[in-house]
Amino acid sequence: MNRASSLPRRLRRRLLTRSLEGLVEWSALTDPVPGYTIVIGCVTDLSGIALANLEALRRCDLSGCAELLLVFDRPLAEVHVLNELPESVAGAPVRVLGYEAHQARAARRIGWGWVYSWMSWSIGVGAARTRAVCLHDLDAMPLSSDLFLRLFEEFERSGAIFQGVRPYSGNGLVEADGFVTTYEMMLDAGVLRERARALEAFSRFGKRDDSWIDFDTFLYLQERLGERHLFEIDPEELFHPSQLLCQFTDHLNAPDRLPPGGGNLSLLAYLLHLGGEHRHLEEGTQALDAGGTRIIVGSRELDLSELPLEKLEWQRTQVERLERFLFDEVRPEVAHWLDSLQAALSPGGTIRSGRGR
């Protein structure tokens, strides 16, 4: 049965959506500046990933980028890395916003990753000074220096309202329906702020061709406003452990929602290490080397034993690509951590030492 057809689920979502009423409102974009804005929704408890992301962006051609807009999920007074954030990255100024206190309380009370992503992106879209906005996932790292330049130039040529790098499928939709995913999505903030409300970008149920659809974030607006454009990129151009941040929120609030082995949560230690927080990778490696399969993620223990081996293999490939893009090699401590994961989770403890160096 299509889960979207469940009446109780639709009613719960409607009540949830009502609780978000008025938390983010858009006003018309007046006198837009040229270029585009990169919006990054940042998790305060994982601020090291924001620093890692900026380091990856530093290696990119950001000509045409008017601004990097970081939106933290707490009031700025509670964000401890503000003094570590650069004033600019690759020539693009960095501006930092935080949730208002009432927004942070609402998101924390609900404890669902989709609320945080919607709120952060909506705040960013509402604060952008350009028409073109790129929703850049916090856990997505470019592996090609001209990626954002090409995304922007294609968006300008297309005249679309929404441009995505992958076709969307799931929750009642298939690729042939023509929707695009949100990560690295370019959108026209001028159109959205003139013709829509921020709350319409939140996940909602709706009818399409007499079937109930669970519209993910921004998908309902893609349906209502149209003008979608697909500009696919090579998978090797982007490091992107899908849904990692939502999985982190679920791990802390509703661990029963997690996929086997925590999905992509095993990558958190590496990303925080990349941002200068080395303790997580060191302690995780020690735990795995001691023969365990449990590591600390946030304030809770995570058992990795059920992580599918194909997922582990995919994660390793992603990490090695990012390491080579940033450092031209896989650093020794990262190679050790990858080998420790492989040994702890593979049948017979198989180690492929030194791979990728």
Count up the domains in the chain and report the number.
Answer: 2
225-242 pLDDT, tens digit per residue, is 999 999 999 989 999 998
Instruction: Based on the fold, state whether residues 114 and 58 are members of the same structural domain.
Output: yes
CATH code at position 125 = 3.90.550.10
Closest CA to 208 of 16, 5, 13: 5
Instruction: Based on the fold, state whether residues 134 and 203 are members of the same structural domain.
Output: yes
The mean of the pLDDT values for the chain is 92
3-state secondary structure 45-78: HHHHHHHHHHHHHCCCCCCCEEEEEEEECCCHHH
Q: How far apart are CA 248 and CA 108, in angstroms?
A: 13
Tokens of 354: 């030194």
For residue 357, tell me if it sits in a domain.
no
Instruction: Based on the fold, state whether residues 114 and 135 are members of the same structural domain.
Output: yes
Q: Which of 175, 202, 237 is the last residue of a domain?
A: 237
Tokens of 210: 């007499």
Q: Which of 215, 237, 259 is the last residue of a domain?
A: 237
pLDDT at 171: 85
Instruction: Based on the fold, state whether residues 297 and 212 are members of the same structural domain.
Output: no
Q: How far apart are CA 166 and CA 154, in angstroms?
A: 14
For residue 50, tell me if it sits in a domain.
yes
For residue 354, tell me if it sits in a domain.
no
Q: Which residues contact 350 (CB under 8 A, 6 or more apart)?
A: 342, 343
Q: Which of 237, 255, 275 is the last residue of a domain?
A: 237
Instruction: Based on the fold, state whether residues 323 and 260 are members of the same structural domain.
Output: yes
200-214 pLDDT, tens digit per residue, is 999 999 888 888 889
Q: How far apart are CA 87 and CA 71, in angstroms?
A: 15
For residue 30, tell me if it sits in a domain.
yes
CA distance to 10, 210, 243, 315, per residue, from 3 (Å)? 9, 15, 19, 29
Instruction: Based on the fold, state whether residues 145 and 202 are members of the same structural domain.
Output: yes
For residue 356, tell me if it sits in a domain.
no
Tokens of 39: 């919006």
What is the residue type of 114? W
Contact at 8 Å (CB) between 142 and 60? Answer: yes
Contact at 8 Å (CB) between 226 and 191? Answer: no
Contact at 8 Å (CB) between 137 and 264? Answer: no
For residue 261, tell me if it sits in a domain.
yes
Instruction: Based on the fold, state whether residues 217 and 192 are members of the same structural domain.
Output: yes
Instruction: Based on the fold, state whether residues 163 and 20 are members of the same structural domain.
Output: yes
Instruction: Based on the fold, state whether residues 317 and 331 are members of the same structural domain.
Output: yes
> For residue 75, what is the DSSP state?
-
Does the pLDDT of residue 352 top 80, yes or no? no
Instruction: Based on the fold, state whether residues 251 and 286 are members of the same structural domain.
Output: yes
For residue 98, tell me if it sits in a domain.
yes
Contact at 8 Å (CB) between 55 and 326? Answer: yes
Look at phi and psi of residue 230 and say left if phi exceeds 0, alpha if psi is from -120 to 50, else beta. beta
pLDDT at 254: 86
Instruction: Based on the fold, state whether residues 267 and 122 are members of the same structural domain.
Output: no
**Phi, psi dihedral angles at 66 (to 5 degrees):** -75, -25
For residue 355, tell me if it sits in a domain.
no
E-strand ranges in 169-268 read: 185-188, 204-208, 211-215, 228-230, 238-239
pTM over 0.85: yes
Which residue range is the domain that position 339 belongs to? 242-349
Helix axes 244-253, 113-127, angle to 10 degrees: 130
151-183 pLDDT, tens digit per residue, is 999 999 999 999 999 999 988 899 999 999 999
H/E run at residue 88: strand 88-89
Closest CA to 60 of 147, 137, 139, 136: 147
Q: Which residues contact 334 (CB under 8 A, 6 or more apart)?
A: 270, 273, 281, 319, 323
Query: pLDDT over 70 for what percent of the chain?
Result: 96
Instruction: Based on the fold, state whether residues 145 and 248 are members of the same structural domain.
Output: no
